[in-house]
Amino acid sequence: MKKIALFALALLVVVQVNAQSRKERKLLFGSSYNYEILMLGVGQDGTKVFKVYAYAKKVDDAIVQAKKNAVAACIFRGLPGANGAAPTPAICPDPNTEENNLDYFTSFFATGGRYLQYINLTTDGVPSGQDRLKVKGGYKVGISVQVLYDKLRKDLEAAGIARGLSSGF
């Protein structure tokens, strides 16, 4: 009898852990911070060239999300260094920037929003191969993108969102 009770308890723990794991994966899949960056090299002055990945249920939605992720990475997270490019710090390193300026960023990242004016070049045709992977619940899509980093920084400073580089510590 003790073995059955012990087995039932162990089974209950395994089911609970598995359910929690599924919830975490679902939250990760739907998270606005779920993106990967791969630096492709050094861009022209004032630009950053990298590949960004996004997840969505449809390929077209993932392409749109990848463009948003590219600009969001420059603003909130920064870019890693690789392939001859030095690491780039986030324009707004304060973790509360998005919450404190929610109205600004909601309209900025809205469909057809201002974030698109900072995307110079993309490979947003229908991706194939390793740039379009079918995953559980949708697709993982990667596009190469060139972001007008200096222009983005200048405009965020003018809007009072980011601190200027010339401002004191």
Asked whether residue 38 falls in the same domain as residue 21, the answer is no
Mean pLDDT of 109-119: 87
> Does some domain include residue 165?
no
pLDDT band at 34 (very low <50, low <70, confident <90, very high): low
Supply 119's token pair: 């995307």
| pLDDT at position 12 | 42
Q: What is the pTM of this model?
A: 0.74
Same domain, 71 and 20: no
Mean pLDDT across the chain: 76
Both structure tokens of 115? 């974030």
* Number of H-type helices and E-type strands within the chain: 5, 5
Tell me, yes or no, whether 113 and 90 share the same domain: yes
Residues 145 and 62 in one domain: yes
Alpha helical stretches, state H, the chain: 2-30, 59-72, 97-100, 102-108, 149-158
Confidence class of residue 59 from pLDDT cuts 50, 70 and 90?
A: confident
pLDDT category of residue 18 using cuts at 50, 70 and 90: very low
DSSP state of 118: G
The token pair at 46 is 């004032």
Residue type, 137: G
Query: Are 104 and 149 part of one and the same domain?
Result: yes
pLDDT at 148: 92
- The number of angstroms, rounded, from the C-alpha of 147 to the middle of its chain's C-alpha atoms is 14
Residues 50 and 67 in one domain: yes
What are 143-167's pLDDT values in tens digits? 989 999 889 899 888 888 877 766 5
Give the domain extent around 46. Answer: 33-158
Higher pLDDT residue, 126 or 20?
126
Sequence-distant (≥ 6) Cβ neighbours of residue 58 within 8 angstroms: 138, 139
